[in-house]
């Protein structure tokens, strides 16, 4: 259920978070130099503020040049300044190293959170059925608990096992369940029409759950507030969750058995894809920018929108490391993500850059595709 589009988005989000942390670390390193050369107000000795200010600016300039793409000017500097610059560099690089790992770990956890939400939504349907069973609404001729799909969920042992392994439960969320049922579902015209009838067909049972999923659980503000507290990227995950839950229910209609999504070998493969996009986009950034910069023409790479910069690097990583993924698939996916998450003109901009990059990589022999990856490399 965790498709490659979602994986690419998670990698982009993690890289964006890391980029923000990297900028903060850079400023902290500059502050470290500034603090060292600040006047000591508690000292009884004379403080030459003008000299200290000059040493501070010199140290900060040397530090900035050390991480600039421009070749640094060579000139003498006092030993105290050089030592402080080295200390700031060590601090900056160590902080970045820790943050790379931090966001890598968080990225995988947040990707797996989508699967946990999927299981939680399945449990929510069971709890809504239980809540409906306690409703003394005299106008209702049937109850949600009698829905054949909800019955199947209640009897599905594998769902119980999967939820137990991940410590997922709705037992302690009865206030939310009651509020959602009482304030939203119970008063819904489509739901009232459903419970006004008896002897529903399996297709009718599927239709009402599909409706509630799309229009209540994934849309109403009460549900949004509940799920947003658990998932930082809830709005990005809605479509994946809708498709996964619908597919699970539909399987019962078509094949007579619920089909629960699993995090199995496919997830191991997708997780490796996620980690590769993230790690290589950071660790091989200089090599990636050497590929990208010639295609930027009048653009300086620092002036590109951060999200575009991240997506361009991710695309090149994907082109070079996944022979089975066609170039056009990579480019089209990155374009769509750029349209959704970056500036209005990002899709067109990214398309132009990646088209040129892919041609250069192919001509240089660096772009090696195999199997399905060769479909658009003719």
Point out the least confidently predicted range of 163-172, 174-183, 211-220, 288-297. Answer: 288-297
Across the chain, mean pLDDT equals 92
Calculate the CA 294 to chain-centre distance.
29
3-state secondary structure of 127: helix
Digit-coded pLDDT (tens) for 138-196: 678 899 999 999 999 999 999 999 999 999 999 999 999 999 999 999 999 999 999 99
CA–CA distances in Å: residue 164 to residues 59, 261, 306: 56, 15, 40
- Quote the pLDDT of residue 72: 57
Q: Taking the CB of residue 253, how many other CB atoms lie within 10 A of it?
A: 15
- Through-space distance between the first and last CA atoms of the chain, rounded to whole angstroms: 31
- Quote the pLDDT of residue 373: 65
The H or E element spanning position 140 is none
Domain residue limits, the chain: 4-104, 113-255, 284-374
CA–CA distances in Å: residue 165 to residues 159, 160, 170, 194, 276: 10, 9, 14, 35, 27
d(CA 179, CA 192): 17
Residue 43 clears pLDDT 80, i.e. is over it: no
As a 3-state breakdown, the chain gives helix, strand, coil percent values, each rounded to 5, of 75, 0, 25
d(CA 4, CA 59): 45
Which CATH number is 284-374's, of 3.30.360.10, 1.10.940.10, 3.20.20.60, 1.10.3720.10? 1.10.940.10
- Quote the pLDDT of residue 73: 64
Digit-coded pLDDT (tens) for 306-338: 999 999 999 999 999 999 999 999 999 999 999
Sign of the torsion formed by the C-alpha atoms of 97, 307, 325 and 1: positive
> 221-228 and 234-255 helices cross at what angle (nearest 10)?
110
Question: 255 phi and psi, to 5 degrees?
Answer: -120, -5
Going by pLDDT thresholds of 50, 70 and 90, the confidence category of residue 135 is: confident
- Quote the pLDDT of residue 16: 97
Class of residue 304 by CB neighbours under 10 A (exposed 0-12, middle 13-18, buried 19+): buried
Point out the least confidently predicted range of 118-122, 297-301, 349-353. Answer: 297-301
Spell 99-125 as b/e; 16+ CB within 10 A means b: bbeebbebbbebbebbbbbbbbbbbbb
Size of the chain, expressed as the number of residues it contains: 378
**What mean pLDDT is predicted for residues 61-69?**
90
Structure tokens at 125: 């349907």
Point out the least confidently predicted range of 8-12, 137-141, 254-258. Answer: 137-141
- Quote the pLDDT of residue 40: 82
- Quote the pLDDT of residue 75: 66
- Quote the pLDDT of residue 303: 78
Class of residue 77 by CB neighbours under 10 A (exposed 0-12, middle 13-18, buried 19+): middle
Digit-coded pLDDT (tens) for 84-118: 999 999 999 999 999 999 999 999 999 999 999 99
Closest to 119 measured CA to CA, from 245, 237, 268, 217 = 245
Going by pLDDT thresholds of 50, 70 and 90, the confidence category of residue 70 is: low
d(CA 352, CA 15): 22
């Amino acid at each position: 259920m965790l498709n490659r589009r979602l994986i690419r988005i998670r990698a982009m989000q993690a890289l964006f978070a890391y980029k923000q942390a990297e900028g903060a670390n850079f400023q902290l390193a500059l502050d470290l130099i500034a603090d060292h050369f600040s006047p000591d107000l508690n000292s009884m000795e004379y403080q030459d503020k003008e000299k200290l200010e000059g040493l501070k600016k010199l140290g900060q300039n040397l530090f900035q040049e050390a991480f600039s793409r421009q070749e640094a000017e060579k000139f003498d500097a006092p030993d105290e300044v050089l030592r402080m610059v080295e200390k700031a560099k060590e601090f900056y690089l160590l902080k970045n190293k820790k943050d790379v790992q931090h966001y890598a770990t968080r990225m995988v956890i947040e990707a797996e959170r989508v699967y946990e939400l999927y299981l939680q939504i399945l449990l929510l349907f069971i709890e809504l059925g239980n809540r409906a069973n306690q409703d003394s609404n005299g106008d209702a001729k049937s109850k949600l608990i009698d829905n054949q799909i909800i019955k199947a969920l209640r009897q599905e042992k594998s769902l119980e096992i999967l939820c137990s392994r991940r410590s997922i439960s709705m037992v302690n969320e009865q206030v939310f369940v009651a509020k959602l049922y009482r304030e939203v579902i119970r008063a819904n015209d489509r739901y009232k029409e459903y419970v006004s009838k008896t002897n529903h067909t399996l297709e009718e049972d599927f239709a009402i759950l599909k409706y509630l999923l799309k229009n209540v659980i994934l849309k109403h503000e009460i549900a949004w507030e509940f799920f947003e507290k658990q998932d930082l990227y809830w709005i990005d995950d809605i479509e994946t969750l809708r498709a996964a839950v619908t597919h699970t229910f539909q399987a019962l209609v078509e094949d007579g058995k619920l089909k629960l999504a699993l995090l199995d070998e496919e997830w191991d493969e997708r997780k490796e894809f996620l980690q590769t996009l993230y790690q290589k986009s950071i660790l091989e950034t200089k090599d990636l920018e050497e590929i990208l910069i010639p295609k930027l023409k009048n653009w300086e790479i620092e002036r590109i929108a951060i999200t575009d910069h991240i997506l361009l690097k991710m695309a090149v990583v994907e082109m070079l490391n996944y022979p089975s993924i066609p170039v056009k698939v990579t480019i089209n996916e990155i374009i769509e993500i750029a349209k959704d998450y970056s500036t209005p003109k990002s899709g067109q901009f990214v398309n132009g850059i990646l088209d040129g990059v892919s041609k250069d990589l192919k001509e240089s022999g660096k772009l090696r595709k195999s199997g399905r990856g060769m479909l658009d490399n003719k």
